[in-house]
Structure 1
């Protein structure tokens, strides 16, 4: 039976939308006429569906510029992202920001469902963990600066291992005598540790609470702001091609840590 047949049951929502469309069609448009009825809800829902499809199909997190290029012209990408976050807030998957990019991932409280116990054939040594922490908090940092902070030489395999794991990268060359190479962490590092940005790294109070720092610290002890360029530390950044072609070669023979 057709919806127009007398006596047929009609969905009130459908009827309301039909009435709004009819009213919008009878009113003049443009800035000079009275404001017509805009079915923004329909447009917003379609934009959310498009962004949802892009984020689900992407093999890696997407930034706002990528989403903006794919969505219709004039789309408010930030508003769409906020709407999707609200939509999935209580769902089994959530829209999360990782390193300035967006992706769908399992809700944190359901992570135990996907957790599996397996033996890791390769673990980071204490030296590698210390080196990684120094790079994360002090980047951009040179190899000599890492050695100065740790008080021991960086072994040949430590930086190679972190580079191979794609947790650190070559940033560029410091504008200082010798033009030393500088290191920084990657989006893969942020992704693995669940950090939206370097600003989410734990501070002194967090490290103390976790038992990773002694409660008896020197009064002038501080943790640097990650990624902050201090005077005299300017660097010339590598392009992706230059970083890929660069070979780290230690000329001197060193003992492992």
Structure 2
């Protein structure tokens, strides 16, 4: 193949990315060409840049995430694509969202440290579900009595939330600064202001991807008294440690 033929080269890459069920890294893309005639890294990046330009007016876009490159539907059309699947989008409990947010922003972190911040015990099913979804993993064991597992996020987590790295996580301090001071209107302000910072993107496959900002927006927009699959368990506290309520996104940000 003539890699100097930018048009044909970018079309080949487009076909590969459309057919792939997951993001493709530069290394994986290179391996798909004959060993005796493989594109250089610079040629591959140039072709990807051309592909991104070629699809700039299309309903989908080229996106780089932690695991590589993928073609995904633009957020403006995600609602239409969502109609292809009859089931309603999965809702996550406030407890799960707060647990995931703490792991993302304070990793590596132990379950006990999560409970110290939230003031309630973490339901075992929450950790199990996050592990099964491969959003988090055990990265080691803390050198303290009991050797508790230290939890951190994964590439699957980054890919799902459309991130190339942890440095692209939304700044909680910045999100908090968007909220005006009057406390009587605080909850409504959080919902409105944080929601405006949220972006959503949908994969060309059946698995939707959303931004982490929109996850945090959902956390603050969670309905009061919503019954979910996972519930908090009371945390037994010492006499000198007052009980704490469930933290909001902004309270988590204040602790950063």
Band the TM-score falls in, shorter-chain normalisation: 0.5 to 0.7
Whole-Å Cα distance in 1 between the matches of residues 102 and 20 of structure 2?
32
Match of 2:49 among 79, 82, 104: 82
How far apart, in 1, do the equivalents of 2:141 and 2:47 lie? Answer: 39
Q: Does 1:73 align with 2:38?
A: yes
Contact 1:100 1:197 in 2 (8 A): no
- Structure 1 residues 65, 129: CA separation in 2 closer, same or farther (over 3 Å shift)? same
Give CA deviations for 1:195-222 in whole Å, capped at 9, x if unaligned: 33222221111244268xx89xxxxxxx
Unaligned residue ranges in structure 1 (runs of 5+): 1-38, 216-254
Deviation for aligned residue 1:85 = 0.8
Q: Detail structure 1 runs of 4+ shifted over 4 Å in the superposition.
A: 117-122, 175-178
After superposition, give the CA deviation of every residue in 1:45-66 in whole Å (9 maximum; x if it has no partner).
Answer: 3332332222122111111111
- Residues 40 and 94 (structure 1), Cα distance of their counterparts in 2 relative to 1, 3 Å cut: same
1:201 aligns with 2:169: yes
Question: Quick one: structure 1 residues 198 and 148, their matched pair in 2 at CA, closer, same or farther if it must change by over 3 Å?
Answer: same
Cα distance, 1:104 vs. partner?
Answer: 0.7
Equivalenced residue count is 178
- Report how far residue 173 of structure 1 moved: 3.0
Residue segments in structure 2 that go unaligned for 5+ positions in a row: 187-231, 235-256
Match in the other structure for 1:45: 7
**Equivalent runs, 1:222-241 vs 2, <5 Å:** none
- Displacement, 1:158? 1.8
The TM-score, its normalising length taken from structure 1, stands at 0.59
CA 123–91 in structure 1, closer or farther in 2 if over 3 Å, else same: closer
Is structure 2 residue 233 aligned with structure 1 residue 256? yes
Q: TM-score, normalised by structure 2?
A: 0.59
Work out whether residues 55 and 62 of structure 1, in 8 Å CA contact, stay in contact via their aligned partners in 2: yes
The equivalences for 1:132-171 within 5 A come to 132-171=100-139
Partner of 1:34: none
Q: Is 1:192 the equivalent of 2:160?
A: yes
Structure with larger Rg: 1
SS for the counterpart of 1:114 is helix
